[in-house]
Amino acid sequence: MKASPTWPIHLVLILVSAIMLLPFYWVIKTSLTGDNIFAYPPAVIPRNLHLFYYVDVWYFIPFLRYFMNSIIVSGLAVAANVILNAMAGYALTLPFQGKGFVIMLFLSCMMIPFQATIIPAYLITGYLGLLNSHLGLALPLFSTIVCIFVFKASFDAVPRSLIDAARIDGLAEWRIIQKIMLPLSRAAIATNVILAFTWSWNNFLWPLIITRDADLQTLPLGLARFLSYHEDTTGALYAFCIMVLAPGILLFLMAQRDFIHGLTTGATRG
Amino acid sequence: MASLAGLDRRPGFFGREQVRQRVLIWCFLAPSLLIFLAYRILPLLWNLLLSFEEWSPYRPARWAGLDNYQEMLFYDDVFWQAFWNTLIFMASAPVGIAFALGIAVLVDADIRGRDAYRTIVFLSYPLMTVAVGIIWRWMYDERVGLINFVLRALGLIGEPIAFLQSFAWSLPAVIIASIWQILGFYMIVLLSGLQSVPRELYEAAAIDGADAGARFWRITLPLLRPSMFLCFVIGMLNSFTSFDLVYIMTNGGPGHATELLVTYIYKLGFVQTKFDTAAAVTVVLFLLLLALTWAGNRATGGDAGAVERG
């Protein structure tokens, strides 16, 4: 076949990339600039860059407290997810009675969006005495069906003979997970960490419902609260946005290769 | 079964070992099952019960039959507005999927820097939606937003448009922001679908004289069905769960022009403490989702099982 020129492809993709990146550029520019934010026409190239707005956010908003709350809740969710999903995913690679039923149950649970269960979920959390607590914030995110199947797909790819050999050597099942399965499932773990982290880190509706104390609020809540109370301090609002987005972007850029690989092999086999 | 191979050699212990193994399997499954029971299945059933009751946190429950549904379906204009808005939101999913398919085909080509393009397009997906909503509020700003600036610079509009305060523009504006955020996810799913299409099929078709267009319509598209279905499901879930974006960008306004079922449920339940009415709206939301998933599955050839066959 003759090689066709690639520049039209690049042209379209550069345009698409620009559309995807321009909002970030605009917000970063605004958060860094000393120009009058409400000037028209807005300056496309920023002048007088400074970090005043970032300093404002750091000192005048309890940023560190929101951040620590987010870290605690996300940390709980990520740890629980990797452990529980690996266990469940491993169980699904073994033959047992009722396996088809469990798989159907998991798949039908996937069709129930969390948003469709918020009222009873709120009541249940109340009966468990977990309203207004870190554990209550994290508990509904402790296990995710997608990640169970990502783990299952990854474990299925491990040669059976390896596992059988380990069993004959008398290794307990949970040691098999720990010593054989997990070390061979880097992409699945990365996928799980990123998914669980982004879901809990970005989660907004659930914390909005179950937290009362300002002390327990996570970053998205802090951001929404700042938006509603201080609509005039635009520069600081965008600095806050960037400070909130940065950890997620960094984590994603570090782990994207494993993440995208794990996501695509787990999600669309067959 | 193969996994019990090690045990077959010790028939004396077979029975006991098998029981032990079975207990262990259920112990491994139990924590996840409990979480899903407490936060998916039980809430769904409880929600159904609530929708038939007259209930608030301050009163004992009373059986109300279809009262909540009657009020919702016949007397509540906001419910219907939220209902149609949610449908419009969902109808926009194929637009996003079509765009993503175009991009996926381009970044599947053997060109330099394609990993960079993939990363850039995907980047917006894992971001915190609250922050994305704030960014897009700014993009749509009447005085200094980038969109008004570009449109005016290009001479397409004379006066700036207050997109998010406009009855006509607010819903499309929110939908565009939503597509912007989910585009990368569609692209990745479709890309993995594209890469699983056997290359020999294209070669054989090329030998038979099929041009690029025919190869795309006759080979690529049919074989992408499972991926398209997955995108469709994710897109619908996204339109149900776009609470964050709507809450931040418009909070359902102006009036109820961007009210979705999910924002309305939140307002009914947690602002007005009308948990029973909110439960009835939730039942509608869930039935709508089921119906559309079923229809989507039919439309893409009924091979949902191929997406996630355990």
**Residue A230 to residues A106, A222, A237, B184, B252, Cα–Cα distance (Å):** 43, 12, 8, 32, 20
Q: Is A92 on the interface with B (CB under 8 A)?
A: yes
- Per cent of chain B over pLDDT 90 is 29
Element (H, E) at A61: none
Helix (H) or strand (E) holding B53: strand B53-56
Task: Tell me if A85 and B32 make a contact (CB, 8 A cut-off).
Answer: yes
List all residues 6 or more positions away from A210 whose beta carbon is below 8 Å from its beta carbon. A122, A125, A130, A131, A132, A136, A137
pLDDT (tens place) for every residue of chain A, 270 residues total: 456 678 888 899 999 999 899 888 888 888 888 666 666 667 777 777 888 888 888 888 888 899 999 999 999 999 999 999 999 999 999 888 889 999 999 988 888 888 888 999 999 999 999 998 999 999 999 998 988 998 998 888 888 888 888 888 888 888 888 888 888 888 888 888 888 988 898 899 999 999 888 888 999 999 888 887 765 677 888 888 999 888 878 877 887 776 666 665 544 433
Instruction: List B residues 75-134 in contact with A (Cβ-Cβ < 8 A).
Output: 103, 106-107, 109, 111-113, 117-124, 126-131, 134
First to last CA, chain B: 17
Mutation site for B-interface testing, chosen from A12, A106, A119 by largest number of B Cβ within 10 Å: A119
> What is the spatial distance between Cα B171 and Cα B252, in angstroms, rounded to a whole number?
9
Residues of A in contact with B89 (CB under 8 A): none
Query: How many CB atoms within 10 Å of residue B83?
Result: 21
Distance CA B65, CA B62 (A): 9
Q: Please tell me if residue B270 touches chain A, with a CB cutoff of 8 Å.
A: yes
What does the longest C-alpha to C-alpha distance in chain B come to?
88
Spatial contact of A198 and B126, defined as CB atoms under 8 Å apart = yes
Which of A11, A15, A20 best probes binding to B when mutated, by most B CB atoms within 10 angstroms?
A20
Chain A partners within 8 Å of B278 (Cβ) = 119
Sequence-distant (≥ 6) Cβ neighbours of residue B238 within 8 angstroms: B93, B178, B182
What count of CB pairs under 8 Å joins A to B? Answer: 281
Nearest to A197 by CA among A131, A247, A238, A149: A247
Q: Note the pLDDT of residue B310.
A: 31
CB-nearest to B126 from A20, A244, A248 is: A248
Q: Cβ contacts (< 8 Å) between A10 and chain B: which residues?
A: 111, 113
10-residue averages of pLDDT along chain B (310 residues): 48 65 91 93 91 79 80 86 91 92 88 85 87 90 84 83 88 93 91 84 82 82 85 83 89 87 91 88 89 77 46
Structure tokens that stand for A240 in this block: 């806050």
Contacts of A28 in chain B (CB under 8 A): none
User: What is the DSSP code (8-state) at residue A113?
Assistant: -
Give the distance from residue B230's alpha carbon to the nearest chain A alpha carbon, in angstroms: 8
ipTM here: 0.84
b/e burial code for range A178-190 (CB count within 10 A of at least 16 → b): eebbbeebebbbb
Task: Write the pLDDT tens digit of every residue in A121-147.
Answer: 999 999 999 998 999 999 999 998 988
pLDDT (tens digit, 9 = 90+) per residue, A38-89? 666 677 777 778 888 888 888 888 888 999 999 999 999 999 999 999 999 9
